[in-house]
Amino acid sequence: MATPVLQFKRGAFSALPALKAGEPGFTTDKFDLYIGLDSLLANNKFVGSHRYWTRETSSLGSGVNLVENESGTDFITLAAPGSLSGITTYTFPATPTDGAFLKTNSSGTLSWSTQITNPNFTNANLTGITTIGDTDLDVNASSVDFAGIVTFSNTTQSTDKDTGAVIVEGGVGIEKNLSVGGATTITGNLFVGGQSEFIGVATFRGGTINLGDANTDDINVGGEFISDLLANDDDSYDIGRGPDKRWRHANFSGIGTFATGAVVDAVQIGINGTSEIDTSSGVLTLDSAGGQVVVDDHLSVAGVSTFTGEIDANGGATIDNIQIGITGDNEIDTSSGNLTIDSAGGTVTVDDNLNVTSGNTLSQADLTQFDVLVAGATGAINDSGGALTFNSNTLTVSNTIDVTTIEVTNVKAKDGTTSITITDSNGHVGIASDLTVSGSLTVLGSQTEVNTETLLVEDSLIEVGLINSGGNLVPPTTDANIDVGVVFHYFNTAARKAAVYWDDSEARVAIASTVSESSSVLTASAYAALEIGALWVNDCAGQSQVISCTGSERFLENITIDAGSF
């Protein structure tokens, strides 16, 4: 069985109330546990707090926290190591010594001391100009090893090899990176007086990299560029200078782009030696500046060409695959003239329906295979005056008749028995006998009454609250501010209504024993009791049982009993 959850009264320490006798309270910000004594705030008994200790883990030992003042959150932890060989006791000295530090003997007795013997520095921080020799800092060795990070806090600037916070008379060996900070009396962050040689990859990042300080300095590039050469501004810098310092040859395997044009003495434009201009990566525009672009030989266009102006083909045009359209439609516009199709003694063939309107005349046309729409003609079919007239008194349809409106008073069975009557004054339809609807039945109106003793419904789901949209029932798209449900009529000293419904104003399902209704809104004056064998709840915690019973014992499951907050 899933057991219920019990929670103490809880809240911030500043809001701790007077607790009743035996009532627990827990402060969520300081982790203090209190027990009430007599409903007086001053008599709340402090039991303990997690903030005064740190629990051990699989790799760390426990510790005692020395917490700052009552309003603070920081503390000092005295912690045991992750593992011990036995019980160890450290004994503090009775009185402090000014400027001394604690050190211990092999028994754990602590004492104050001011001397360091045989040090091994780790993460040392030396403040001021420090000289390390045989006797300084009480170091009894000819050398000192720094195992960790060493920080020299002196800020003396270096202007030459004999000034600065650290002065090294001998050579310096550096296995790792060397980072140099800013300087104020020399140019740059790293100053090298002699010749420098970099072997391997050298990377200069950020800022401006200057090579030479005059146009008389020579820059010799013995290697190859493996990156783009980009100017940091548009249209500001040149390559070469004419006529005395020009580049000789330029080889481009790709496209050369010149924003302001190019002056070429001898034009050679070609792809792989042919006389071609490749526009696969862009558009070629020939601008004649108001004149004409003249092609004195044949113009061959392999793909689709678009002409925004007129096409003047004085010598005629031969088009193998004709696609003629007006604004995207497959039309030939004859509003400015006549369209003449001359078959030169042959046959004009239309392989789809031919639609002829406005009283046009078709002569010598073979229409045996297609549909013909006749408007305004005379003969067997006549639409003069807006009515369709047949020369015969009887219309016989062998297959299907499609009529928009049909007017009739009675619909009778084959033997003459009236089956359906339609009243002229209001259009009411009467069914004389049983009505069987094999398909769907849609009833539009304000009220539907079923006056039967027994209502049999095959459907497993009944939907209510749908709305009429063009003759179809669809879910609502706006809040109609009405309640939706089932109303039960019964008698208890008077006619009453009970209901199970969705309470729109409260956004929940209500079960009421007495309700009143106005404009599809139910008002409950009494709520009904609910008798069940067990209770399951499916909410933010998922689906779970909250009330169960075994034998004669009832259980509360998956429930948090919350004493509230303060």
CB 17 within 8 A of CB 41: yes
pLDDT of residue 164: 83
Shortest CA distance to 26 belongs to which of 38, 44, 3? 44
Rounded average pLDDT over 522-527: 96
Model confidence at 186, pLDDT cuts 50, 70, 90, reads very low
**Residue 157 carries which side chain, given as an amino acid letter?**
Q
Of the two residues 539 and 385, the one the predictor is more confident about is 539
**% of the chain surpassing 70 pLDDT:** 68
200-204, 395-399, 424-428, 496-500: segment of lowest average pLDDT: 395-399
24-33, 70-79, 177-186: segment of lowest average pLDDT: 177-186
What is the rounded average pLDDT for all residues in the chain? 78
Model confidence at 283, pLDDT cuts 50, 70, 90, reads low
Contacts of the segment 378-381: beta carbons below 8 A, 24+ positions apart = none
pLDDT in tens, 105-133: 989 999 999 877 666 666 666 666 555 55
Rounded average pLDDT over 359-383: 49
pLDDT surpassing 50 at residue 506 = yes
Shortest CA distance to 515 belongs to which of 530, 528, 506? 528
Model confidence at 268, pLDDT cuts 50, 70, 90, reads very low
Cα separations in angstroms, 342 against 143, 345, 357, 491: 114, 8, 21, 92
**Residue 243 carries which side chain, given as an amino acid letter?**
P
Model confidence at 38, pLDDT cuts 50, 70, 90, reads very high
Of the two residues 218 and 304, the one the predictor is more confident about is 218
pLDDT in tens, 68-98: 997 788 999 999 999 999 999 999 999 999 9
Of the two residues 487 and 165, the one the predictor is more confident about is 487
pLDDT surpassing 80 at residue 420 = yes
* Of 187-191, 422-426, 537-541, highest mean pLDDT: 537-541
Rounded average pLDDT over 440-455: 82
pLDDT of residue 476: 93
DSSP 463-527: ----EEETTEEE--SS-----EEEEEEEESSSEEEEEEEEETTTTEEEEEEEEEEETTEEEEEEE
pLDDT surpassing 80 at residue 360 = no
pLDDT surpassing 90 at residue 158 = no
CA distance 117 to 97: 19
Model confidence at 444, pLDDT cuts 50, 70, 90, reads confident
pLDDT of residue 137: 44
**Residue 427: both structure tokens together:** 């259009």
3-state secondary structure of 13: helix
pLDDT of residue 361: 54
pLDDT in tens, 224-246: 888 888 888 888 888 877 777 88
Model confidence at 401, pLDDT cuts 50, 70, 90, reads confident
pLDDT of residue 338: 63
127-136, 175-184, 432-441, 482-491: segment of lowest average pLDDT: 127-136
pLDDT of residue 238: 83
Rounded average pLDDT over 339-351: 64
Phi, psi (deg, nearest 5) at residue 13: -60, -35
